[in-house]
Structure 1
């Protein structure tokens, strides 16, 4: 169902203010034989309190520090929601895929396996999948959906903001052909690496899904088609459109809606069954 919803009650209801702590860590990737810089933003709360975790992915040509530097409000949102945010470096144009035969591009394994294990091993997280989600912008929006669909045992909730959720209309862009080969010669490989062709893998009641995109964004059309396909397949999801283009101005607004969604999902999952 396409929705518009307000974050006003969300912000008003969360009045406690702390001081979010920001760590920059180097996480070893055995799959790639190198360390990957990652920003961890955690609320200032009692150490024994287990935190839900949201993995927040950057876009093409971005890096691990994009979100915390360009949208400082994420620190306030961490304080308000009690959700720890983890922003890994996704490489230059990785699209968060594992590319067979290229050890420099094993980002699916890194994010969905190695990074999750590191975070749960080094921080006071709630390691149940019901308290773990993933989202991102642009390339990271596609990456979040791609990883969540392929690792439904790891993530219970997924978001995408202005995501390139179907890569096939852009065969000559963003170095994708360097990873997959040309679309003309490798159409099946492109189908296997695009979110639009993975929707049939979503298991009933497995993923909470929230997709948003600006109406002036060059990815708006593919997000509309993803919404239509999910609706056709009877996959429950939330879909939000707002005025805006493929810019940090839009993303700095949309992150509030994304965090409101994940806060609701994690809080509901944490309640005793009889009280939901």
Structure 2
């Protein structure tokens, strides 16, 4: 068993007078036998003294298809939110088209294991975290929006809250897109496998109030239909959740705005303790 190691590279964010401290680390995944880059942002006050005993809630943020670990570090609203909300933000690399599950077809894609087990363990060991689901949330955009809800539903002992922004919360209507068939096989030959790894179908296993759930989508986004369908499904199942639609498309102007609302949602959850 290889020991998890990290290499820290500082990212300068000098345009903020008081800003979160942002590093890039590499965490070794035993499941995939490789180092995976992640961005970690901590509040400006983090580690102000050696005697500091304060522990911080953690928000894991997932990128979209064709994105990478560094995408969220470019969101000024995230960086400001880390300071304002006094949280730690962790942004792992999710590979190209992983959808954040453990692929039964490709052993090099085990991002469910990495994010929800290996990375959680590493962050809780190396940072001053509230190492409990009450202090841990997960969110993402697009592919990462699906990943956030998927991982939270599958690992309710790990995460207490989850949020999706423009999430591909049901990708079964898109059988030829975004490398999903590479991870699960062709849809027409593996329908059960697709449904077992899709948020829309997984929510039927949820119990009300088991998770704090928030999701949203722009009205001009190509995922608006599946988000509306998920909202209706949760209403039918009587699962409490927050859902919002606002003007916007599938792009960074929308997500940079949306992260502000989701961080407030998480802050309210963390404050309940």
Corresponding residue of 2:4: none
Corresponding residue of 1:163: 167
Q: TM-score, normalised by structure 2?
A: 0.90
Q: What is the aligned counterpart of 2:156 among 148, 152, 157?
A: 152
Corresponding residue of 1:274: none
In 2, distance between residues paired with 1:235 and 1:204?
5
In 2, distance between residues paired with 1:129 and 1:168?
30
**3-state SS, counterpart of residue 198 of structure 1:** helix
Q: What whole-Å deviation, never above 9, does each CA across 1:37-64 have from its counterpart, x for those lacking one?
A: 0000010224421000000000000000
Q: Which piece of structure 1 moves more, 177-186 or 114-123? A: 177-186
Post-superposition shift, 1:99? 1.2
Contact 2:77 2:257 in 1 (8 A): no
**3-state SS, counterpart of residue 153 of structure 1:** coil
Corresponding residue of 1:53: 58
Post-superposition shift, 1:18? 4.1
Corresponding residue of 2:108: 104
Higher relative contact order (CA 8 A, sep 6+): 1
1:1-276 to 2 correspondences below 5 Å: 18-45=18-45, 46=48, 47-69=52-74, 71-100=75-104, 102-269=106-273
Contact 1:18 1:43 in 2 (8 A): no
Post-superposition shift, 1:193? 1.0
Q: TM-score, normalised by structure 1?
A: 0.89
Post-superposition shift, 1:232? 0.6
**3-state SS, counterpart of residue 40 of structure 2:** strand
Post-superposition shift, 1:102? 2.6
In 2, distance between residues paired with 1:114 and 1:102?
19
Post-superposition shift, 1:73? 2.3
Q: Unaligned regions of 5+ residues in structure 2, if any? A: 1-16
Q: Unaligned regions of 5+ residues in structure 1, if any? A: 1-16, 270-276
Aligned residues: CA RMSD: 1.1
Q: What whole-Å deviation, never above 9, does each CA across 1:164-206 have from its counterpart, x for those lacking one?
A: 0001000000011111111111111111111000002213321
Q: Kindly tell me: are residues 101 and 219 of structure 1, through their superposed partners in 2, closer, same or farther at Cα, counting changes over 3 Å?
A: closer
Corresponding residue of 2:11: none
Post-superposition shift, 1:72? 2.2
